[in-house]
Structure 1
Amino acid sequence: MAARRAWRLVPDLAEFEGAWRLERDVVHAGAAPARFEGEARFVPGKGGLVYREAGVLSMAGQPPMRAERGYLWRAREGGGIDVAFEDGRFFHRITEGGAAQHWCDPDMYEVRYDFEDWPDWSARWQVRGPRKEYRMVSRFTRLTGP
């Protein structure tokens, strides 16, 4: 049996448009795991797609809380996607293979996107440094298309 590839080619930006179920597990070093459940939406705007997620974050010993964040996703000429913070600052680039990094002094953020089961997909983050140490896995399942 052939080994399963951890990625496929990055989908075209337009393929992300719509609503997605989002489930995220976060495991901090030396702490109880956290869970985020909500929805992510990609809508046209600002030269690409505006990404907005909203949902409930649950952590052991704490009451559940509303959480949200957003990014800007823009197609790159020749393929791939640039991801920026809401204010337009570059965050990272998604290319063939799905691996990317972001240095946020003094911590390193590394991600691997997995599009093999498209339209289901995931992003696995590993954050290491003196201020932060955690793993985060986000799983996306399509709810609606464009």
Structure 2
Amino acid sequence: REMTPGKDEDQLPFSKAADVYAFGTVWYELQARDWPLKNQAAEASIWQIGSGEGMKRVLTSVSLGKEVSEILSACWAFDLQERPSFSLLMDMLEKLPKLNRRLSHPGHFWKSADINSSKVVPRFERFGLGVLESSNPKM
């Protein structure tokens, strides 16, 4: 059967709620650097996910911070209607506290001020590419 994007999407066994759940799982793996459910039989994992209890235990067993845990809890909500849309999820992610840190400044590798003008010209001499002009007026 042909499965082109947009064709019979309402008949596919997938949903946006399932995508949000999957996103939560991948995001957990990135945050915790570990699997949410591990070292157990497949049947036990299926029961934990299906009952909704397993993901609650996962969140209580790891310390990822209040905001991250709230987002994961929303993504893993047992009731599909309680899971956020990706638009709402994006808003939640943007509100996470951010680290205040200096931007790395590899200026001596990428830019060099032209002595005769205030224009900064990217130089890639270190990589054997010579001088390349940028179309970006900020560079």
Q: Which has the larger radius of gyration?
A: 2
TM-score relative to the length of structure 1:
0.26
Higher fraction of strand: 1
TM-score relative to the length of structure 2:
0.26
